Chain A
Amino acid sequence: MRFTKDHEWVELEGDVATIGITAYAADQLGDVVFVEVPEPGKTVKAGDGLAVVESVKAASDVYAPISGEVVEGNPALGDTPETVNDQPEKAGWFAKLKIADKAEFDALMDRDAYEAYLGTL
């Protein structure tokens, strides 16, 4: 699993990347009340808005950590946005992307680097 400074995580299986927000991000957001996930077929570049997450505190964009084409948005989050709080780095995933360039994945932080980064916040 790799991470971004904007607190997204990516897990790669073959050429399909699963993307979500980290436990730290979910905790900072507070109770998530609404999630908008992308439609399949949408293409995104790294850094583009991928999804929207809204908590009792604020609405935030979730950025694509990596370029690719959306294969699937997590259908469960519509009815149970609390999954993002309960299992942020598992069932609370936002979208799956078919990626073009694995180098983008490799360039992201690993867990140790991400945790070190959290320590600086």
Chain B
Amino acid sequence: MTMLNVGRPTQPQTAVPVAHASLTGARGLLQDEALIFELGGWDKTGVDLEPAALDASDLAGLTREAPIGLPGLSEPEAMRHYVRLSQKNHAIDLALYPLGSCTMKHNPRLNEKMARLPGFADLHPLAPISTAQGALQLMDELAHWLKTMTAMPAVALSPKAGAHGELCGLLTIKAAHEAKGQGHRRLVLVPTSAHGTNPATAAFVGYDVAEIAQTEDGRVDLADLEAKLTPDVAAIMVTNPNTCGLFERDVIEIGRLTHAVGAYFYCDGANFNAIVGRVRPGDLGVDAMHINLHKTFSTPHGGGGPGAGPVVLSEALAPYAPAPWVVSGPDGFKLVEETIDEAAAGFGRMVAFQGQMGMFVRAYAYMLSHGTDGLRQVAEDAVLNANYVKARLSGVMSPAFPDGPCMHEALFDDSWLEGTDITTLDFAKAMIDEGFHPMTMYFPLVVHGAMLIEPTETESKQELDRFCDALIALAHAAKAGDVDRFKGAPYLAPLRRLDETLAARKPKLTWRPEPTTVAPAPLAAE
């Protein structure tokens, strides 16, 4: 017979040689990647533009003479650069992303499709109102549902993030106090477990900040609150559910005590996904609360896109809301742009235009596609998933508040690592090798070596089990004395332990070309 002795071997290789380092430093399909400034030069461009034909400038001598220093890359180079970078990152589209207090849940693709409808995506903020009726209707209906879900009479849609919403809320509170001759109030009370943005916002608005102590079961200490509620207090800022993942059981009493001294109750709504559809903050005595559309209503965040932090306001604060807002009349929808004519007390505005339209569309699509029963289930599943994680991990890790259920996030301390020489940081780094983004660590500050896990409502039982199995295996390894696995982690990331101290002490904030790089003379004008 004729032997076919060319071509590839047909038998499986029996002995696979041990892996060796590659010759280029690349790791297989995971390419090494330089900074875009190092990749790009002056000799390439991705676009072919006509030379600029300007012969006069209106910039009164401020025209840039030196080259701008942007890297030139061809289109495939630019494309590959960002695809390679994206492959080095964890993403919610890769696996569970348990970053506590951040609600890193799945972003339904339907939202994305709706946000890309040309009528929304291509709309200019200065387009004539008659051409933007659909967008205004959407904003009006979004406002309606936010008010309905929170039992609040007014909402400022324009703030562009949670902390921006806090700023909006406190500026509204300040305007209200000033209008009532209470502008002398100087103090804002914040619990010790608060998000750092709360005291920062209060200080930014010009208030002094005092801390409210926490009880042993992780909640606001009512006696301490009452003692600190003096006539000098302008507002309190409380997160509910709080950053320990616990519902503030005394929230109604907190509101009552606050109002009794003439202060306002600001609620940090970062954790609204745990109660949406089940609890209306307006019923709890809240005067102002920001809603992170990018958490509760699933618009992308965490590097994935801009945020949006609309603020709902109580009857007492509604007259002081910032512009703009949408009103409807016989001639259709219009924007109220000035607070001077319509409501003399408004403190002005937060942003130049109307806010994050793309986020409004995504949040609205999320609400309508879930419906009232679906939104209620969001809260139920968020809490159920966190309690499932808490129950499974409590066998090997130490819950910070073991008594009773948690809300949407499970909080552990590091007492279970005692004697292992392994820290919360080491444990978090080892999670990267197992294919998970670490949980939030060392926050809230009131819990030693805190590990705050928020699985979110969009994870299946299978994914939760995969995650819990990985953490339980790691916990056993830690207790068995497998210290190197943790101290050296991550072993399987593009970069290992970074020198965070050096980065904080001597940050390099700009990249400068090597001295040998010669920039060409600017193109001569035609």
Contact = CB atoms under 8 A, between A and B. Distances in A.
B445 A82 contact: no
Contacts of B24: none
A58 B504 CA distance: 12
What size tier do the contact residues of chain B reach?
under 10
14 contacts: A31-B500, A31-B501, A31-B505, A33-B501, A33-B504, A33-B505, A34-B505, A54-B504, A56-B500, A56-B501, A57-B442, A58-B442, A58-B445, A81-B505
Counting chain A CB atoms within 10 Å of each CB, which of B445, B500, B505 scores highest?
A: B505
Interface in B479-526: 500-501, 504-505
Given A34-B504, A56-B500, A82-B505, 6 more contacts: A31-B504, A33-B505, A34-B505, A54-B504, A56-B501, A58-B445
Contacts of B505: 31, 33-34, 81-82
Interface string A19-35: 00000000000010110
Interface in A44-83: 54, 56-58, 81-82
B209 to A, nearest CB: 10
Interface of A, helix, strand, loop or mixed by DSSP: loop
Contacts of B500: 31, 56
Contacts of A34: 504-505
A32 B376 CA distance: 45
Contacts of B442: 57-58
Interface string A85-98: 00000000000000
A56 B504 contact: yes
A65 to B, nearest CB: 19
Interface in B430-467: 442, 445
A57 B443 CA distance: 10
Contacts of A58: 442, 445
Nearest to B196: A59
Nearest to A85: B501
**Shortest beta-carbon contacts, A-B, top 6:** A33-B504, A31-B501, A33-B505, A56-B500, A56-B501, A56-B504
A56 B504 CA distance: 7
Nearest to B501: A31
B445 to A, nearest CB: 6
A52 to B, nearest CB: 12
Contacts of B504: 31, 33-34, 54, 56
A78 to B, nearest CB: 11
A33 B507 CA distance: 10
A81 to B, nearest CB: 6
A30 to B, nearest CB: 8
A31 B501 CA distance: 6
Contacts of B501: 31, 33, 56
A33 to B, nearest CB: 4
A7 B501 CA distance: 23
Interface string A106-119: 00000000000000
A33 B504 CA distance: 6
A48 to B, nearest CB: 11
Interface string B290-306: 00000000000000000
Nearest to B443: A58
A82 B501 CA distance: 10
Contacts of A31: 500-501, 504-505
B222 to A, nearest CB: 24
A61 to B, nearest CB: 10
Nearest to B445: A58
